[in-house]
Amino acid sequence: MEESYLVSARKYRPSTFGSVVGQKALTATLRNSIATDRLAHAYLFCGSRGVGKTSCARIFAKTINCQHRTPDGDACNECDSCRDFNEGRSLNIIELDAASNNGVEDIRNLVDQVLIPPTTGRYRVFIIDEVHMLSTAAFNAFLKTLEEPPSYVIFILATTEKHKIIPTILSRCQIYDFNRITIQDMIDHLQWVAGQEGITAENAALNVIARKADGAMRDALSIFDQVAASSRGNITYQSTIENLNVLDYEYYTRLVDAFLSGNVQESLLIYKEIRDKGFDSQFFINGLAGHFRDLMVAKDPQTICLLEASDDVRNAMALQAQNCSPQFLYRAMDLCNRADLNYRVATNKQFLVELTLIQLCQLLSPSPADSGMGEGPLRKIAPQAATPNPAPQAVPKPQAAVPQAAPKPQPTAPAEEAPPPPSPIPQPAQQAAPTPSAVPPQHGIPQHAAAPRQPMGAIGHIRSISGMGNLSVHGTSTPKAAEQQAVAPKRQQPFSDDDFLKAWDEYARENPTEKIVANAMATCRPSRVGENHYSIRTLSLIQQQQMTDAKPAILQFIADRLNNDFITLDVDIIASDDEAPPSTWRPAKVLDRMKKDNPYMGTFINDFDLKPE
């Protein structure tokens, strides 16, 4: 009679401690406890699926009853106890599936079986699988028996979710945490299984199977059977990725090349090719993020060991990683992570992925705004009147640069004569007026009318008109010109509070991008505390910080509007909610104030139990 087919996960299930894959430290501990006869009455095996919890529980139960153990501490598989266990007729090893027997009555039946001593061997072992599925009442019914079982009873509990087990159960057990099976351990075991089955398998194909199994040896063996059946015993890399619907890393390699060259069209076409093969877009974007992570660890020889891939793939990734800067990889991973977070809420998911690909192509753009990140460095917008920045113009003709009705300098602050100008620049005789900053303001005349703006020459901005001697190629004044500005008299034209508030609101309107500052200026009104001294009280610490940073620009703007350089401003923060303006009060505070100001309104609110939404 022909023997029926048995899947590899059952056929090659471990039967000894030495055949357990990826749990060397744990199995060594169990062996030592058996060899020294230091056995606990309750064990808890924890770990993810397919890592060998139940298999180790069965091996442990068989080994402690074995009559002739091997020198390595494994069961002999020849004595009566081992043969009974292998044939599935042992009365000393009882398995219970807590997923389907999770009630109080099931635990009571188990407690009744505990009272029966073993017929052969030393111990009766109860293996309870998926123990976290027991109800709270069943756990409580099991507590006393688990804490003080008969001397011949050993409990082995197995679970994938230790956090669901009540603490009183955990405290009564020795806890063993099983590791996830590593990629290399799975590959080695699959190669051994392939040799036993007479199957040829490429190492790259086994690597794909191991990565697909996600740390579970049982899943790896099941996938191995699936691929072996489809490829008729010849497991190749190409047949494996086609059968498992795995996206080839070559696609990611081509995409990274397109990103590095800024080829948007190529990246979008590759993405279309991937979609046409039936791959989910979120699966693709997560795979792309993982590829960037692999490139990051492959870039440094010290971290390439973290790359779980075949040697050929490692070498290819290390070669490509040399073309990627660390900043590029960090920003690329951040973009992919943002796309993954926004994928579920995105209405047009394809557009979200395509936009991410476009941003990735722009990461190496020389744009100063850090193209691809969706935002550039924040820069404050200086007021126009404080820091004029006219467009460059051609060198004006002499007659066009003559200022009209320029006032003479006051005798109290004479302008220092400048040295003669360089010979290549023609100088008109009329340009002997003092600098605009040195001209004292006249009451009733705006500053821009008294000192007209000068044109920009081809060699830079003309800072000084007197003698044309203080020219700077880079648009900055020379030390002599700065000294002339420092000794110039300051403006001190009188103004009213209405004039100050008008200039205050005008600054907020002309700088709408500074939202926190504009909102603070609209909500927190300044109050006059001295002749030219004002003070405001902001509503929050961030408003205070933003207003403090913007204070120099605000004061310069208002000084130019009011023709007064002695204006100062203090920025404080309110000490309590009572000092905040009523427009910022919370609904509960509004009701409290209404009760306080009007007793009848308070009675009305209490009678109808009115509460803020």
pLDDT at position 482, please? 47
Residue 254 lies in a domain: yes
Q: How far is CA 580 from CA 323, 539, 583, in A?
A: 56, 7, 8
Mean pLDDT of 525-543: 84
Residue 117 lies in a domain: yes
> Are the C-beta atoms of residues 43 and 157 closer than 8 Å to each other?
yes
pLDDT at position 118, please? 86
Domain CATH code at residue 342 = 1.20.272.10
Using the 3D structure, point to which of 127, 160, 177 is the last residue of a domain. Answer: 177
DSSP H or E segment with residue 239: helix 237-244
pLDDT band at 563 (very low <50, low <70, confident <90, very high): confident
Tokens of residue 428, six digits: 């008109």
Residues 42 and 167 in one domain: yes
Mean pLDDT of 416-421: 47
Domain that includes residue 467, residue range: 427-489
Residue 372 lies in a domain: no
Q: How many domains does the chain have?
A: 5
pLDDT at position 252, please? 92
Tokens of residue 74, six digits: 């494994």
Residue range 297-331, pLDDT digits in tens: 998 888 888 887 777 788 888 999 998 999 999 99
Residues 167 and 30 in one domain: yes
Helices and strands in the chain: count of H runs, count of E runs: 24, 12
Domain CATH code at residue 153 = 3.40.50.300
Give residues with Cβ within 8 angstroms of 310, minimum separation 6.
203, 204, 207
Residue 16 lies in a domain: yes
pLDDT band at 377 (very low <50, low <70, confident <90, very high): very low
- Mean pLDDT for all residues in the chain: 78
DSSP H or E segment with residue 456: strand 456-457
DSSP H or E segment with residue 533: strand 533-538
Q: How many residues does the chain have?
A: 613
Three-class DSSP category at 97 = strand
426 vs 582, residue with greater confidence: 582
Three-class DSSP category at 274 = helix
Residues 504 and 485 in one domain: no
Tokens of residue 11, six digits: 């056929």
Residues 30 and 168 in one domain: yes
pLDDT at position 566, please? 87
| Gap between the Cα atoms of 199 and 213, Å rounded | 19
Residues 472 and 344 in one domain: no
3-state secondary structure 381-426: CCCCCCCCCCCCCCCCCHHHHCCCCCCCCCCCCCCCCCCCCCCCCC
Indicate whether 371 pLDDT > 80.
no
Nearest Cα to 127, choosing from 105, 101, 104? Answer: 101
Beta bridge partners of 608: none
Q: How far is CA 115 from CA 108, 128, 150, in A?
A: 11, 17, 8
Mean pLDDT of 259-286: 92
Residues 512 and 567 in one domain: yes
Residues 435 and 307 in one domain: no
Tokens of residue 360, six digits: 């990735």
| Gap between the Cα atoms of 170 and 403, Å rounded | 92
Residue 81 lies in a domain: yes
Residues 150 and 28 in one domain: yes
Residue 605 lies in a domain: no
Mean pLDDT of 481-509: 77
Residues 79 and 128 in one domain: yes
Residue 314 lies in a domain: yes
Using the 3D structure, point to which of 177, 202, 236 is the last residue of a domain. Answer: 177
Mean pLDDT of 159-175: 91
Q: Considering the chain, what percentage of its residues have pLDDT values greater than 90?
A: 27
Nearest Cα to 503, choosing from 546, 543, 553? Answer: 553
Mean pLDDT of 453-476: 40
Indicate whether 458 pLDDT > 80.
no
220 vs 424, residue with greater confidence: 220
| Gap between the Cα atoms of 2 and 409, Å rounded | 118
C-alpha angle 24/25/31, rounded to 5°? 85
pLDDT at position 175, please? 93
Residues 188 and 131 in one domain: no
Residues 224 and 293 in one domain: no
Domain CATH code at residue 532 = 3.30.300
| Gap between the Cα atoms of 567 and 559, Å rounded | 7
pLDDT at position 612, please? 64
Residues 295 and 341 in one domain: yes
Using the 3D structure, point to which of 244, 265, 285 is the last residue of a domain. Answer: 244
Candidate from 11-25, 390-404, 541-555 with smallest mean pLDDT: 390-404
| Gap between the Cα atoms of 13 and 379, Å rounded | 65
Q: Tell how strand 153-159 and strand 42-46 pair up.
A: parallel
pLDDT at position 587, please? 67
Residue range 274-303, pLDDT digits in tens: 999 888 999 999 999 999 999 999 988 888
Q: Rounded to an integer, what is the distance from CA 542 to the centroid of its chain?
A: 24
